[in-house]
Amino acid sequence: IRDYLEPFGIDVATAIPPGLIGTLDSAVYSAGQIRDRFSPDGWLALKDLSKTIHQVATTVAPGDDATRAMTVILRKLAGFSGLLHENMYRFTG
C-alpha cells in the first residue's frame, strides 16, 4: 500500500497525510475561482471540510485516533459529494 500511495504524497506513517491536505486546499482554491457558479451549500460544506481537516491535522495521533478523525472527514466528504450531485445540472443531448 505504501508504494501505491507514495506518488500521491500520502505517507502512511503520518496521521493526516500532507498530500490529502494539499489536494483539499487545491479543491477549495478551484471552487473559489468559480464561486458564483458554486452552490452556497456546497461551498459551506467544502469550507467546513477544509476547516476540519486542518484542525485535526495538528491534533490527531497516528493509529486509532487517526482512524476516528478520518471517519469524520470521510462522512463530511460524502455529504459534500451528495450536495454537489443534488445541485448539479443535467443535460441530455
Q: What is the pLDDT of residue 37?
A: 82
Q: What is the pLDDT of residue 92?
A: 62
Residue pLDDT, tens place only, 12-47: 778 888 888 999 999 999 999 988 888 888 899 999
Q: What is the pLDDT of residue 63?
A: 84
The x, y and z cell numbers of residue 5, run together, are 500511495
Q: What is the pLDDT of residue 47?
A: 95
- Residue 61, burial from CB neighbour count under 10 angstroms (0-12, 13-18, 19+): exposed
Residue pLDDT, tens place only, 46-63: 999 999 999 999 999 988
Q: How many CB atoms lie within 10 A of CB 27?
A: 14
Which residue's entry shows cell 497516528? 62
Residue pLDDT, tens place only, 62-91: 888 988 999 999 999 999 888 887 766 666
